[in-house]
C-alpha cells in the first residue's frame, strides 16, 4: 500500500492537497477541502478498476456555483452534526442554542459552513503498519451556533487491501452535540452509469426512526418488517421505491452496536459484480437514494447525475437526537472522547 499527494489550486491564492491511497485492489483520491473523496476505484468481476463514487474530476468544481446551489455533499465529511436538527434548536440544561437553519426551518449537516466546506489540516501517518491520511480541524466555540471548541480527527486508510476505512475522533472543552459521518454516493455499476435502482441491498436493521415530511424524527421507532423499507433480506432497491414518497432518505436503527465494527449493509451491482459490505460501530445508517439529484451536475464520466444516480449508506447517530433524549446519546462532555469507525469493503463476483 502507498500514499502520495499533490498541491492544487482551489480558489485564487488558496491551495489544497489531493492525496491518493492505493493498494492492489483499491484506489482512493481525497482532497483536504471538505475531506472530500473524489475517486474510489475498485476492481470489477473482470479485474478492471471501476470508479464507484459520484463526484467531479477537478477540485474547483466542488466550489462552483452550480454545485453549491444544491450542494449534494458528494464524498464529504459531515459535522458537527450530520443529518437534521429540528428548527435548528436544542437545549443543554437551561440554555437553548440556535443553529443555522439551512434546510427550510431545520439545521442540516452542520450548517451553512459545515465540515464539508473547510480546509482540513493534513498529515501522513503510520496506521496499523500502513500509511494513512489523518486530517484535523478545530471548530471554534460558536461555530454555526454550536457551543464549545471541538477538536476533530478523521483518518482515511486502506484496510486489508480491499477496505476503505474511516475513523473519527473528537474532544471538546464544553458540552456539545456531535454526529460525524461520510457522505459518499455510490454507483457500483460505475460512476455515471445509469441509476442504482437495479442494485441489490441488504440492511442489517429491523427498525427505523419515523420522520415527518421535512425529515425530522417524530420520536417513534418503527419496525420495517414487510414494509417498503424492509431490506432485512437482500432485495432490489427499485422494487418498492415508488411506494416511498420521493425515495429513500431514512435512518435505520441498529441494535446492538458498540466498539467493534459489525456488518451494517451489503450492496451489489448486477452489471460489474462489485459487492460492498459496510461495517461500523455507529448505531444508525441513513439510506439515501439521490432523490434530489436533478441532472444539473455533470460528473467525471461526462454524464449528468439524475435522480437515483447514486445511493448513500451514511453510518451515523440518529437525526435530531439532542431533542429526543431516548435516542442514543450525542452529547460529548469535556474529558470524553468521541470515537467511531466505518469500513467499506469491496470484492466482486
What's the pLDDT tens digit per position in 103-124? 999 999 999 999 999 999 999 9
The segments of the chain whose pLDDT lies below 50 read none
Please give the pLDDT value at position 233. 97
Select which of 107, 109, 183, 308 is catalytic.
Answer: 183
Domain 2-348 carries which CATH code?
A: 2.70.98.10
Task: List 37's β-bridge partners, or say none.
Answer: 30
Q: What is the pLDDT of residues 32-81, one digit of tens each?
A: 999 999 999 999 999 999 999 999 999 999 999 999 998 999 999 999 99
Please give the pLDDT value at position 13. 65
Select which of 153, 191, 314, 340 is catalytic.
Answer: 314
Please give the pLDDT value at position 11. 67
Q: What is the pLDDT of residues 81-99, one digit of tens each?
A: 999 999 999 999 999 999 9
Please give the pLDDT value at position 3. 83
183 is catalytic: yes
Q: How far is CA 113 from CA 71, 73, 108, 196, in A?
A: 11, 12, 10, 30
Please give the pLDDT value at position 8. 72
314 is catalytic: yes
pTM: 0.96
Please give the pLDDT value at position 232. 97
Please give the pLDDT value at position 310. 98
Please report, for the chain, the start and end positions of each structural domain, with discontinuous segments joined by +: 2-348
Amino acid at each position: 500500500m502507498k500514499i502520495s499527494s499533490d498541491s492544487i489550486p482551489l480558489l485564487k491564492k488558496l491551495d489544497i492537497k489531493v492525496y491518493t491511497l492505493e493498494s492492489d485492489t483499491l484506489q482512493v483520491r481525497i482532497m483536504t477541502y471538505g475531506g472530500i473523496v473524489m475517486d474510489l476505484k475498485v476492481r470489477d468481476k473482470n479485474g478492471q478498476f471501476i470508479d464507484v463514487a459520484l463526484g467531479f474530476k477537478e477540485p474547483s468544481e466542488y466550489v462552483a456555483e452550480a454545485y453549491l446551489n444544491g450542494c449534494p455533499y458528494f464524498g464529504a465529511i459531515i459535522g458537527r452534526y450530520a443529518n437534521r436538527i429540528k428548527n435548528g434548536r436544542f437545549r443543554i440544561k437551561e440554555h437553548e442554542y440556535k443553529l443555522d437553519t439551512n434546510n427550510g426551518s431545520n439545521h442540516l449537516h452542520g450548517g451553512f459552513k459545515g465540515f464539508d466546506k473547510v480546509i482540513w489540516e493534513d498529515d501522513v501517518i503510520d496506521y496499523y503498519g500502513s500509511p494513512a491520511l489523518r486530517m484535523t480541524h478545530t471548530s471554534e466555540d460558536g461555530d454555526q451556533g454550536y457551543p464549545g471548541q471541538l477538536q476533530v480527527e478523521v483518518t482515511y486508510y486502506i484496510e486489508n487491501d480491499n477496505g476503505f476505512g474511516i475513523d473519527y475522533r473528537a474532544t471538546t472543552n464544553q458540552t456539545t452535540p456531535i454526529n460525524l459521518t461520510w457522505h459518499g454516493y455510490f454507483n457500483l455499476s460505475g460512476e455515471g452509469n445509469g441509476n442504482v435502482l437495479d442494485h441489490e441491498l441488504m440492511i442489517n436493521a429491523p427498525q427505523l426512526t419515523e420522520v415527518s415530511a421535512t425529515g425530522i424524527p417524530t420520536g417513534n421507532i418503527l419496525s420495517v418488517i414487510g414494509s417498503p423499507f424492509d431490506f432485512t433480506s437482500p432485495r432490489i432497491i427499485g422494487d418498492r421505491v415508488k411506494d416511498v414518497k420521493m425515495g429513500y432518505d431514512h435512518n435505520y436503527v441498529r441494535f446492538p452496536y458498540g466498539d467493534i465494527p459489525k456488518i451494517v449493509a451489503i450492496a451489489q451491482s448486477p452489471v460489474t459484480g462489485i459487492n460492498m459490505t459496510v461495517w461500523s460501530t455507529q448505531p444508525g445508517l441513513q439510506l439515501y437514494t439521490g432523490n434530489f439529484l436533478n441532472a444539473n451536475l455533470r460528473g467525471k464520466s461526462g454524464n449528468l447525475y439524475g435522480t437515483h444516480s447514486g445511493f448513500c449508506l451514511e453510518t451515523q447517530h440518529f437525526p435530531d437526537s439532542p431533542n429526543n433524549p431516548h435516542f442514543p446519546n450525542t452529547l460529548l462532555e469535556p474529558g470524553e472522547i468521541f470515537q467511531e469507525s466505518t469500513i467499506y469493503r469491496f470484492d466482486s463476483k
